[in-house]
Every structure is written in structure tokens, then in C-alpha cells.
Structure 1
Amino acid sequence: MPPRRDVPGVKPSTALRTGWRALAERSASVLPLYLLASGLYGIARVPLLVAGLVALWIAGASGRLDPFVEVLRRSQREASGDAAGSDPFASGTVNPDQLGPGFGDAVGNLLTPEIVALLALGALGAVVLGIVASAVGSAVAVGGIAGLLRGDDGVRAGVDGAAAYWRSILGVRVLLLLALAVVVVPLGSVVAGVASAVLGAAASASGAGAAPSVGGSVAAAGIAVLGALVGAVLVLVVVLLFAFAEQAVVVDDAGALAAVRRSVRFPLDRPTAFLGYVAVAFGALVVSVTVAVAGSLTGTARLTGLVGAIALPPIVDGYKTSVYAETALPDDPNPTPLDERARAAFLGGLREVGAFVRDHPVANLAALACILAGGAIGWVATSSFGVTLPVGSDVGDVFAGGPLGPVGTAVNLAVNNWLVAADLAYSGLAAGVPAVVSLGFNGLLVGAVGGVFDPTAFAALVAPHGVVEVPALVVGGGLGLHLGAVVLGAFRGRRGADDVVDAVRLAYRVLLGLAPLFVVAGLIEAFLTPAIAALVLGG
């Protein structure tokens, strides 16, 4: 490939508009790609969840859970005979300080070498699958953006890109990790050695066997801080040099090594475009931090996840791909106003929800069965403990929403549940396994909580919003199982790439229809559930 020079083919401002237009004008082609890329990380949770469940089963089968349960029973008996203030469960959460000294021993009894090794293996598997999932997700996203720049269908280009480029992008990720290790590990060793030498010299100056002087400790701390700053700068430089490697893989069809070389050369060949990317990336970081701070102050922190998953990445990727390929997004010959497209998308999505439930009963019933099976196992496991945890004296505390009160709670719940449904749907692309595991695990958690709470209290706190929220999550899981079946059919040669593309689009449309349902469920949980629970429980 001839080197790209600073030519006025696509100016940084034009490339930035391309990223924004890709999100705003081609949302039906862009958002499915980034929801898919985000949902693929659900695959990485499977080893850790499975390891945790197996570890819990081993602990129960070996009797190591018994001391832990006995601590809970003893604390409950003592609380029932003492003043209300001594109840470790009075606030609705466990107070470890009032559970007695046996609590720490009981927890430590669970951490056998076998269980620790199992959890470590699960964590390692999660890291490996996370790296692979990130490579596949990036291939989907960048492949789709590049397809839009060529005037192709974005979702089809993203699906084709996943098959064509994920290995090369995985190679880029591995090379990036190696480069970071080459930079960080020697620097850390040097900093640690210098700081140790300074402390040793300070201790020698203070006399044999004496502790280092204050000045020596301050000097060592200063060296450590300086080393951390130098390390951060070097890490940033490495990351920036790799910034356009994935674009090189997709646009130039380059292998991992060739893509990294072209990315490293890009700042020299296109300095203006590279500095524009630095500005765009910094702006995206500022927006992310601003949203995070605003979410923290207003009690709507889950909005950060929504912005980070599907709002900012298309703009940044659109800029990078546009300037690298020197191509702007073609004009839409028949543009539709954004408000009209949004209204049509959500109303059409509600119809798609009904159609999906009607046309795919097996997938939805299987998803419901996974939740019910997990719930039954969780309830049987914990109800046998003979422990009943009371609800706190103020039911409203369970649904506290920060400065915005119930509004903040409703926003957090709606966004969180919608992102969970998207994860269930698109992680199901891995043969449906992540969807099955996630559905079963969530059912297990609900059943386990139900097994140790008073049934009336549990129903009062869950049923009002659960009648809307749980079916919507079941549909999300059904999407995951349907996508898994389509992908399995494609691997077996019974389905084609068009079927996978159609399934990805269907999932997006159904998820749009689920969004209003989660908003309704969030409003019920934030405003009505506390009042209903207080009425039923007298709290």
C-alpha cells in the first residue's frame, strides 16, 4: 500500500461528521453492530459464573457451607431475643460486625485450595474469552462502518467482517498486550529497584537496624509516583501507535503485523488526521467522564454504560475509519427526520415483540424454562438453611434513587434491564450457551433470595414490577437462543450469512420494542412497588 500523506481528501472535520452521521442517519445499521459488540462480552462471563456455581456446589457437598449457615442461624436467634438495634439484618443487609467472630472463620472455611484454583481457572477463562470477544466485536463494528463508507449494508458488512477479520484483529490485540508488557514490566522493575535502593540507603544512614528516615521514604514515594507518570505516558504512546491497526486490517485487508506497521506509520504519514483523532478521543473521554460524574451526582449511573456502549464508539470508529480510508459517508438520498425514525422504530419494535413471541414459541419457552429451573434450584438450596431474613424497617430504602429519588431509580432500572436484555440476545450468538447460563444464573439469584426471605415480603417486593420485567427479560433470552440456533445452523451449512444478518436485525428491532416495557417496569418498581410493599408489610 502506498503511504497516505496529508492530502485534503477527507478533512478531520469531515471525518468527525461522518462518525456522527453514521450514528444519527444510519442508526438501524450501526446500533445493531455495537449492541452485538457489547453483548459479546457476555460470553466472557460464562467461565466465571460456571466456576462460581461449581465451587458453591463443592462447598455445599463437602459440608463447608454448614458453619456459614450456622452463623446466620445463631445471629438470627440472638437478634430475635435482643433489642431491635442488635439485629444484623435490620437494615435489609447483613451487618458483618454483628455476626460474631465465627463469621470470618466460616467464610475462610469456604476458600479451600481446590475452590480457589477453580475460581482462578474461571477468571483466566473469562480473560481469554474477553480478549477474543473484543476482537470479534471490533471486527463487527469496524467492518460495518467500513461497509457503510463503501455504500454497502452496514449489518451485512459487519457480519462478513466478523468472519473475515477477527483473527487478524485478535493478533493486533495480542501484539498490543505484548508491547505494553515490554514497556511496563522493565520500567516497573527499574522503579522498584531504585526505590528499594533509596530506602536501603536511607536506612543505612539512620543506623543499623533502624527504619528509613522520613526523607528517604518521601524520596522513594516520589520515585514511585514519577515512575507511574512515565509509565502512563509510555502506555498512552503505545496505545496511540496502535490506534489505527484495526482500520488497517479492515480497510487494507492486512494481517496483524502489517496492520501494526501501518498504524505506527500513520502519525508520520497523516499528522493532521492523527492529531484530529487525538482530539476526538480526548473529547470522547471528556464526555464519558462528564456523563459518569453527572450520573453519580444524580443517581443515574447506568446511563454511563449506555453512552459508552452505543453512543460514543460509533463516532470515534467512524472518524478513524473515514480518515484512514479517505472516504466520507455517502449522502442518504431519502433522509427521514430523526424523530420520525425514532417513533417508527419503537412502535415497530413493540409489534416485533409480539411477532417474535408468536413466531418463536420454542425459544421463548426455553428461556422461561432456564429462569424457572434456576429459580427452583436457588430456592431449594437456600430454603433448606432454615434462615429467614427480615426486610428492613423502611421498605423505601430498598428503592432509594439518590438526589432524583424515584426518577433516578427508574432511569437506572430501565437502562440496566435493557442492556441486560441486549447482552442476553447478542451473547447468544455463541451457540446460545451464554444466554442459557445467564438466564439460569439470574433465576438462581432470585430463587436463592426468595428462599431466605419471608414469602409475603418477597412477593410484595418483586411481583408488582416483575410481571412486566421478567417476561421482557425472557424475550431477551429467547432472542439469544434464537440467534444461537441460527448461528449453529450456519456452521452446519443449513443456513447462510443472510439468515445470520436477518437474525441480528430482528434482535435489534425486538430490543427496541422491549425498551418501552423496561421503562414501564422501572417506573412501577420506583414509584409503585415501594408503596405496595409498605402497604402489604406495614412498613
Structure 2
Amino acid sequence: MRIGSRVRDAVRTLVYRPHDVLPWYLVGAGVPAVSRVISLLAFALAAGVLWTRSGLATFRERALEIGPIPIDDPAVAEAQDPFGDPESVGQPPEQELEELLGTTPEELAAVFEPLADPAAVSIVVLGLILTGIVSVGLNAVVSAGRLGGVYGALRGADGSRAGVETFLRDWLSFLALLVVELVALAAVVIVGVGLLTTALGAGGAAGVGLGILAVLATVAGILLVQLLLAFVGPAIVVDGRGFFAGLKGGLAFLVREPLAVVAYVVLGLSVVVGLAIVGGFFSLLGAGSVVALLGLVVAAPLLETAKVSLYAASRGEELSAPAPDLRERRPLRVRARDGFARGWRELFAFVRETPGLHATIVGLFAAGIAVGWVVIGGGLVGIVETSIDGRLVGTNPIGLFFDFAANNWTVAVLTATGGLAFAVPAAVSILFNGLAFGAIARLEVDLLELLAFVTPHGIVEIPAILIAGALGLWLGLIAFRGVVGRADRTDLADGIRRAYWVLVGIAILILVAAVIEAFVSPYLRLLV
């Protein structure tokens, strides 16, 4: 097997056929929107419990005695930073916080004591645990679609359709793979904790040395488990014979193709190091969200495409050229221009064809703003206050641009593709955004200044997010029709593919809004 050719195939597939590789990665990005519904429901139920037991009323009474707390004041954030250097301000963080808020940490803890109702806390903890379980499980089964789409793209097929076919065929196998991985990791951690406990019990320098060795051995064991199972997913997809055959094939690949495994490890380390370097640069600009987006659309697809390509080649498959026709061999600049043009057309076509869904989303957003203003914001008036001035302190326009663009498009993707879970996550996401907007506006110290900041970019950004919400409802309806037998897997694949192109169009709106939000809005607010 020519390892270099297989890795180049992976890169070329991602470059020449992103429309086949990326749709299922965007679907995977919607998993947090699905799992978040559980945690939000848990918090709502906990709030209901506190309300019936007068916990919220008691909290409000006590909080009003020390409020309002300027939560956007940079000085408050610095005083609350547990990693700050007390010497840099000449006094302990607790004392600095006491001077800023006019209350001691003990008095502040007493304010929140009514919220520590056992029933409410239990509901929240249970909700967070279920959120984690659902998130891990959904990520596992969605990976079947991701690898299926990659395998289809490598063969020159429709990645969205191949992803749907593989997802429906192999989701249970990927869930079994998750269980095996979790059991193996748990065993490694349990043994590691036992070794560490024994080492520290020995005491002295020898005990410390043995403890360090125990930690290193545990880390090595975790990495070994990841390596042993790395090619099981590709084996399940390529061989198409279920979990046990995939497990056997993935482990056999490690023995049969050691050089390919080494090449993959080197590629993985290179990607991680490169992402860390890029992440450090954007973190200095205050745009850490760019790193997560690059991981979603570049790092993860590249590594998984390489895995599938290496495994398929080891099975003797002759993969199609990633660029099968002259049109796809055009310069990257030209293809990017045409891709964004298609996304723009799909965006407008989708809006024209779904006025009812957009009206529904606008209604949900408006309802969220109203409830956020009256209920949440009204309940917190006099307790906390927000400030657009405080949120913009220490920022720079370039960092703001990258952060706003990456974060807002990620929110749009999450809202849209999360809607595949029968539209509920998309509706909840839009409602939640409305609640947050209404509450923050109610608590703003200078509402006119906030409106002056939001309006210039909001006339572009808010419609973009609402279109993403309508797209989520549309995908949810396709999923529902599939369950009741009124749509088939072709309809689902077509829906995922179209959602990808609409999200490309939304990206254009998000970029325009980010330019305005970073370079125009912060200065227009100063004119008020």
C-alpha cells in the first residue's frame, strides 16, 4: 500500500469534495443542541421546584440587599478569577471582591443558600448526567454517518446519501464500539487510580516517584486504548459486516499495516500541533472559538478521511480519484467563489419556499424576548446589571471579527442540524436565544446604547440565525415524515445536502454581520 498516496487522497477529497465530506460533520455539530434540551428542561423543572417552595422569593429578597452586581465589570471578573495573582493587586481576591460588591464572600454564599434545595439540585444533577450520556451516545452513532460520508466521497459517490445509508445500517455497531471503549478506559483509570493510591501510601520520595510513574502509565494506557480502537470504525464501515467483524478487522489492521498506523499517528500529532499553534494565535486575539470551528471542518474530517482511506486501501479497494472531472479541478479560488454563489442561491430559494416555518421561528424568537424581558430579566432587576461597555473592554476589532464569525456560524449550524431530532432542538435553541436577548436587554444599564450597538449588525445577524432555526424545523419535519413512512432515506440525504448549502449561504450573512459587529457597531454606540 502506498501510504503517501492514501494520505494525499484524504487531503484531496476534503479539498475537492467538501460538499460530500462536511455535511455529516455539520450534523454531528448539532448533537449539543439535542442534548442541551435535557439540561434546559432540568433547570426549568428545578426553577419550578424552587418557586413552589419559595426558594426563588427568598433568594431575590437576600440578593436585593447587596445588588445590583455589575457582572460585566472587568474588575469583578478579575476579582473572581481563581488563577489571578493576588500580589498583582496588592490584596487577596476575596478582599478585592468585598470592596467591589460591598459584601463578604460569606454573605454572598448566604444569598445563594435558598437555591441549594435538595430536590432542585438533584434534578439539575440528574439532568446534567443525562445530558452527558445522550451527548456521548449521539456522537458515537452520528460518527457512523460521518465515516460513511467520507467513504462515499473517497469512492466518488454522494457523501450525504452514503452517510445516511451507513448510519441506518451501522449505528448500533458504533454504539457497541462506544461501550467497549468506555469499559476499556474505565478499566485503565481504575487500575491507574489503584496504582497511584498504593504509590502515595508508600510515602517519601519513592512514593512520589512511583506516583508519577502510575500517572504516566495511566496516560499511556488511555492512549493505547485509543490506538487499538482507532481503525475499528473504518473497518465497520468499509467491510459492512457489523461490530464484531469490524473489531477483528480494525485490530488486524494494526498488525498487518504497522507503517500505515505510524503514518496516521504522525499525521494526527501534526494536526494537533498545528491546531495548537493556530489556536494560540487566535487566543491572543480573543477568538478562541475559531479553534473549535477549525477542528470541526478541517482537523476531524482530515484525520477520519485518512483513516478510512488507509483501511480501504489495505483491503485492496481501488478508490476513485477525489477530483473526477475537470470542473472540480478548477483553482480553489474559483471553486470557493462558485460554492458560495450556490449557497447564496440555495439560501434565498429556501426562504422563499418556507414562509410558514420562518413565521413560526420569528414567533418563537419574539416570545422568547418577551418572556426573557418580563420573567427572567424582571426577576433579576436590582440583583445584577449588564453593560455593553464592560463586555467590550479589552477587545480588539480583529479578534472580535474572528470570534463573532466563528461563534455565530457555529450557533447557526448547531441550531439547524440539531433540528434533525424532530425539530425540537431548533425550536428550543431559538427560544433560548430570545430569552437571553430579552433578559440581557432588561438588565442593561444603558438600553439605548445597547440598541445602538446591536442594530447595525443585528439586521443581518438575527435573520441569519432565524433562517437557521427555520432550516432546523424543516429538517425535523423530514425526520418525522421518515419515521411515519412518508419519506425515505433519499429524502433525508437530499435534506442534509441542501441544509449544507443553505448553511454556506448563512455563512455569508454571518461574515457580513461580523464585519459590522467588530468594526462598526462598537463605535456607533458611542454616538448615543
Q: 1:385 to 1:391 in 2, by over 3 A?
A: closer
SS in 2 for 1:65: helix
SS in 2 for 1:278: helix
In structure 1, the residue matched to 2:334 is 340
Q: 1:411 to 1:259 in 2, by over 3 A?
A: same
Quick check: 239-248 or 116-125, which moved more? Answer: 116-125
SS in 2 for 1:493: coil
Whether 1:356 aligns to 2:350 is: yes
Whether 1:417 aligns to 2:404 is: no
CA distance in 2, matches of 1:148, 1:89: 47
Whether 1:289 aligns to 2:280 is: no
**Contact conserved, 2:378 with 2:442, CA < 8 A, in 1?**
yes
CA distance in 1, matches of 2:439, 2:45: 16
- Report the residue type matching 2:283 in the other structure: S
- Report the residue type matching 2:193 in the other structure: G
**Contact conserved, 1:399 with 1:526, CA < 8 A, in 2?**
no
In structure 1, the residue matched to 2:307 is 320
Q: 1:164 to 1:68 in 2, by over 3 A?
A: same
| TM-score of the superposed pair, with normalisation by structure 1 | 0.87
In structure 1, the residue matched to 2:495 is 503
- Report the residue type matching 1:56 in the other structure: A
SS in 2 for 1:490: helix
In structure 2, the residue matched to 1:162 is 167
Whether 1:377 aligns to 2:368 is: no
- Provide, for residues 223-277 of structure 1, a one-character-per-residue CA deviation record: whole Å limited to 9, x for no partner: 3322111100111111100000001111111322332232222221111111111
**Contact conserved, 2:33 with 2:425, CA < 8 A, in 1?**
yes
**Contact conserved, 2:72 with 2:390, CA < 8 A, in 1?**
no
CA positional deviation for 1:72:
4.1
Q: 1:173 to 1:50 in 2, by over 3 A?
A: same
In structure 2, the residue matched to 1:73 is 64
CA distance in 1, matches of 2:71, 2:261: 57
- Provide, for residues 251-306 of structure 1, a one-character-per-residue CA deviation record: whole Å limited to 9, x for no partner: 11132233223222222111111111111111121122112212112322111011
Q: 1:514 to 1:116 in 2, by over 3 A?
A: same
Whether 1:272 aligns to 2:259 is: yes
In structure 1, the residue matched to 2:23 is 32
CA distance in 2, matches of 1:400, 1:511: 32
Quick check: 138-147 or 252-261, which moved more? Answer: 252-261
In structure 2, the residue matched to 1:16 is 7
In structure 2, the residue matched to 1:206 is none
CA positional deviation for 1:89:
6.9
Q: 1:141 to 1:316 in 2, by over 3 A?
A: same
SS in 2 for 1:478: helix
CA distance in 2, matches of 1:329, 1:48: 44
Q: Between the two proteins, what is the percent identity of the paired residues?
A: 33
CA distance in 1, matches of 2:107, 2:381: 18
Whether 1:135 aligns to 2:145 is: no
CA distance in 1, matches of 2:158, 2:522: 47
Q: Which runs of 5+ in 1 are unaligned?
A: 1-7, 80-86, 200-215
CA positional deviation for 1:136:
2.5
Whether 1:237 aligns to 2:224 is: yes
Whether 1:430 aligns to 2:430 is: no
CA positional deviation for 1:159:
1.2
Superposition map of 1:108-507 within 5 A? 108-196=113-201, 198-199=202-203, 216=204, 218-326=205-313, 327=317, 328-330=319-321, 331-334=323-326, 335-381=329-375, 382-387=377-382, 397-400=390-393, 402=395, 405-454=396-445, 455-507=447-499
**Contact conserved, 2:453 with 2:525, CA < 8 A, in 1?**
yes
SS in 2 for 1:332: coil
CA distance in 2, matches of 1:298, 1:359: 40
CA distance in 1, matches of 2:278, 2:257: 31
In structure 2, the residue matched to 1:59 is 50
**Contact conserved, 2:46 with 2:124, CA < 8 A, in 1?**
yes
CA positional deviation for 1:169:
0.8
Q: Which runs of 5+ in 2 are unaligned?
A: 80-96
CA distance in 2, matches of 1:50, 1:465: 31
CA distance in 2, matches of 1:531, 1:221: 56
CA positional deviation for 1:60:
3.3
**Contact conserved, 1:364 with 1:474, CA < 8 A, in 2?**
yes
CA positional deviation for 1:504:
1.0
In structure 1, the residue matched to 2:94 is none
- Provide, for residues 300-330 of structure 1, a one-character-per-residue CA deviation record: whole Å limited to 9, x for no partner: 2111011100111221112111111114442
The number of residues matched between the two structures is 497
CA positional deviation for 1:176:
0.7
CA positional deviation for 1:102:
2.8
**Contact conserved, 1:426 with 1:483, CA < 8 A, in 2?**
yes
- 1:519 corresponds, among 497, 511, 525, to 511
CA positional deviation for 1:93:
6.0
In structure 2, the residue matched to 1:41 is 32
Aligned CA-pair RMSD: 2.2
Q: 1:401 to 1:291 in 2, by over 3 A?
A: farther
CA positional deviation for 1:88:
7.8
CA distance in 1, matches of 2:155, 2:251: 25
CA distance in 1, matches of 2:286, 2:195: 43
CA positional deviation for 1:506:
1.5
- Report the residue type matching 1:360 in the other structure: T
Q: 1:358 to 1:262 in 2, by over 3 A?
A: same
SS in 1 for 2:420: coil
In structure 2, the residue matched to 1:207 is none
CA distance in 1, matches of 2:448, 2:54: 30
SS in 2 for 1:507: helix
**Contact conserved, 1:135 with 1:167, CA < 8 A, in 2?**
no
